[in-house]
A and B are shown apart, each in its own frame.
Chain A
């Protein structure tokens, strides 16, 4: 186990290095110098050149990269051009909101997809299976932002049931339970949009794994001995189908963070996705790069976690050479 773990970590190191290199090169590709928007108009070009030289702007690219890397490893991703504040602080502020949205979407996905996948996996080629199949096809074919707009039109504009933007009602001063209810109402639409696409994917996976398990000899043998259905399904079938789920969930996190970008932008949800869109609009490259680096590292960490968890629940993986 330890060897397997060590191998995965060793593989992750060059990947992490590659990620940092890509991000750094992108930082360097951007037009303008780092003092745009930072120095006042009274600074003469000569003074600016002196400043640039003093901060190592003329050093070789490799030296600059290593300096940047050292700072990034220490958690310093530079300053936002627009707000003049540390990038890590800005990301930290928005992280909670994205976590709330992604977490709600994840819970919603699991609550719907687990029973549904089990059901259609056990009753393959039935009416429900066909309906779910076709619906899954439609769901993966609808652009998330179009789905968002349809939901906003129906539930917010026409039926006036749900709010469309932000985390809380602007101007309202709710406390305690009223505040929770307000946030929950704001969560419904964006979390549903995020969850719907994932439900289709997860359901498809579960259907495949459950229907494969049903055909396995050990399950057939249990059924063949006349053991009641529910005593086969829950302890044997479900346990084996659920085993890879923990891995899937950890791989789901980066996918959710990525698709949250569009959803947050549309629903004005002040999370990391919305922040990166604002950074693009304001040409705030340090902020943008900080977010990209952050998301890439989170993705890498989740992949690593998935590997480890998978090896934990499935001995075949860690025992394989």
Chain B
């Protein structure tokens, strides 16, 4: 019973984690960048100088200046205002898609990891099936069948990206469930639900938080790509991805930088900030050296096979 918890996310450790987070340069840079971007998009109704949907027919494709901070698009809408409102959509999709992943991934991962046996085999085969479909190929197929809309994009990203989370939760559960404190809890008759939520899930919360953070970044990237292809958020609603699709025209790409550089830069800054946050969480909460790239690695299944990090997937 003298065993220490591997992930110090309990209430007693929270103070220490916070202090160490605040000393981490990755956290400071990431949190600062994210706060600025989030504030700008959330305060869009007060900051945006124009309506995002109203075109000014007297200034079409106008370069920046003359009242329009970032110029106007092909039907005279203010690019800066659309950028602010578009950010809301991109962030909403990133967060909601992760919520879907959390629900599916944690439930299935918990079932597989706690019960093992047949349940584990079925869940793992299901995970492998979903992982065999290359993301963009199946995503555009689903978008083509079910139509392009904000909610479909959220569901598509959520349904295709939960596999990594399920494997992560399963791995954590497998290693945690045989630990002394869980055995002790079981032996004194603590209920199954209480063990799952109170003991297992809570101790796995560090890796889950790290994964979820990085998944928001991946969700924003996926939304941008789908909307760019015309299979995500549809006009007239603005999203950073569909603003970028303007640059599919060579004329815009060559001469009208204000139509595509700002949304692209916004995505990069947002995703970079979130990735920095994820790296900081990883260092402080999990005490394992890893990065968003490690997340990519685990999604491709490398970490399941290779001892890249002191793995959480060694059952």
Contacts and interface: CB of A to CB of B under 8 A. Distances in A.
Interface of A: 11, 14-15, 18-19, 22, 26, 29-30, 133, 136-138, 140-146, 149-150, 152-153, 157, 200-201, 204-205, 208-209, 212, 244, 247-248, 251, 254-255, 257-259, 261-262, 265, 273, 276-277, 280, 283, 285, 288-289, 291-292, 295-297, 299-300, 303, 306-307, 310, 317
B126 to A, nearest CB: 7
A251 B301 contact: yes
Interface in B286-303: 289, 291-294, 296-297, 300-302
22 contacts: A26-B145, A138-B272, A143-B221, A143-B264, A143-B267, A146-B224, A149-B244, A149-B264, A150-B264, A153-B254, A157-B250, A157-B253, A208-B308, A247-B305, A247-B306, A273-B137, A276-B140, A280-B231, A299-B132, A303-B128, A303-B132, A303-B301
B228 to A, nearest CB: 5
Interface in B206-244: 217, 221, 224-225, 228-229, 231, 244
Given A157-B253, A200-B293, 4 more contacts: A18-B126, A146-B244, A152-B253, A261-B140
Contacts of B260: 149
Interface of B: 125-126, 128-129, 131-138, 140-145, 217, 221, 224-225, 228-229, 231, 244, 247, 250, 253-254, 257, 260, 264, 267-268, 271-272, 275-276, 279, 289, 291-294, 296-297, 300-302, 305-309
Nearest to A265: B229
A262 B128 CA distance: 24
B297 A201 contact: yes
A291 B293 contact: no
A248 B275 contact: no
Given A149-B253, A157-B254, A306-B305, A137 B144 contact: no
A18 B128 CA distance: 9
B306 A244 contact: yes
B265 to A, nearest CB: 9
A247 B275 CA distance: 27
B221 A137 contact: no
A153 B253 contact: yes
Contacts of B267: 142-143, 146
Contacts of B257: 153
Contacts of B305: 244, 247, 306-307, 310, 317
Nearest to B222: A143
7 A-B pairs with least C-beta separation: A258-B134, A18-B129, A204-B293, A146-B264, A141-B272, A141-B271, A261-B136
A259 B291 CA distance: 20
Nearest to A144: B225
Nearest to A291: B137
Interface centre among B125, B134, B291, B302 (most CB of A within 10 A): B134
Contacts, number: 165
Contacts of A255: 300
A254 B244 contact: no
Nearest to B231: A280
A244 B303 CA distance: 11
A29 B279 CA distance: 41
A214 to B, nearest CB: 14
Nearest to B254: A157
A248 B291 contact: no
A29 B145 contact: yes
A145 B297 contact: no
Contact of A292 (B128, B133, B264, B302): B133
A14 B157 CA distance: 24
A295 B271 contact: no
A296 B308 contact: no
A249 to B, nearest CB: 11
A262 B305 CA distance: 28
Contact of A205 (B145, B254, B302): B302
A137 B296 CA distance: 12
A258 B293 contact: no
Contacts of B221: 143
Contacts of A11: 125, 128
A144 to B, nearest CB: 8
Contact of A251 (B137, B138, B143, B302): B302
Contacts of A150: 264
Nearest to A14: B125
Contacts of B309: 208
Contacts of A277: 140, 229
Contact of B136 (A137, A259, A303, A317): A259
Contact of B297 (A143, A153, A205, A306): A205
Contacts of B293: 136, 140, 200-201, 204-205
A204 B275 contact: no
Given A30-B145, A146-B244, A208-B308, A258 B135 contact: yes
B225 A292 contact: no
Nearest to A145: B228
A260 B75 CA distance: 32
B307 to A, nearest CB: 8
B106 to A, nearest CB: 22
Contacts of B300: 251, 254-255
B294 A299 contact: no
B141 A26 contact: yes
A315 to B, nearest CB: 14
